[in-house]
């Protein structure tokens, strides 16, 4: 009986954890989508608002941020297709895998580092994943 009770407590805890991660996944996908929509409109002020404090400090202004994205991540600036992959936890970090197709038809795999803030999830980093890593 004691083992059954312990098993039920563990299952209930895992269930809440899965539910919380599913809720976070929806919110995180929404934040990334909204930022990409802002990039499509060249609304760098709004796109900058989805960046975490570390990114905001690094670039200082929405204009600087926008220039970095246009030059370094053109597939994010003008994607033709965006699909969300897995959300995984590594330590305290949540990483959202995103598959992005650019205007030339090339496919890119990106990992977005997401951090919780007082105003919701924010993007703290984006890493391009090489073909070997994305397999």
Predicted confidence (pLDDT) per residue in 80-114, tens digit: 999 999 999 988 889 999 999 999 999 999 999 99
Closest CA to 126 of 53, 51, 42, 47: 51
Helix and strand element counts for the chain (H, E): 6, 4
The predicted structure's pLDDT at residue 14: 45
The predicted structure's pLDDT at residue 5: 61
**Average pLDDT in the chain:** 88
What does the longest C-alpha to C-alpha distance in the chain come to? 63
The predicted structure's pLDDT at residue 130: 80
Give dist(CA 36, CA 83) in Å, integer. Answer: 12
Percentage of residues of the chain with pLDDT beyond 90: 75
Q: Is the pLDDT of residue 21 over 60?
A: no
7 pLDDT band, cuts 50/70/90, is: low
The predicted structure's pLDDT at residue 93: 85
48 pLDDT band, cuts 50/70/90, is: very high
* 67-77 pLDDT tens trace: 999 999 999 99
Q: Is the pLDDT of residue 133 over 60?
A: no
The predicted structure's pLDDT at residue 26: 96
Structural domains of the chain, ranges and CATH numbers in brackets: 2-134 (3.10.450.50)
Q: Which residue matches tokens 């960046």?
A: 51
Instruction: Annotate 38-63 with b (16+ C-beta within 10 A) or e (fewer).
Output: bbeeeebeebbbbbbeebeeebeebe
Give dist(CA 90, CA 112) in Å, integer. Answer: 12
């Amino acid at each position: 009986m004691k083992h059954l009770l312990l098993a039920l407590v563990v299952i209930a805890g895992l269930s809440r954890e899965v539910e919380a991660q599913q809720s976070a996944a929806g919110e995180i996908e929404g934040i990334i989508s909204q930022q990409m929509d802002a990039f499509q409109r060249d609304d760098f002020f709004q796109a900058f608002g989805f960046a975490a404090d570390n990114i905001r400090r690094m670039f200082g202004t929405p204009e600087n941020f926008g220039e970095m994205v246009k030059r370094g991540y053109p597939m994010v600036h003008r994607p033709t297709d965006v699909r969300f992959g897995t959300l995984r936890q590594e330590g305290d970090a949540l990483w959202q895998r995103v598959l992005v197709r650019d205007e030339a038809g090339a496919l890119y795999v990106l990992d977005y580092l997401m951090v919780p803030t007082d105003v919701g999830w924010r993007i703290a980093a984006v890493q391009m994943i090489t073909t070997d890593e994305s397999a």
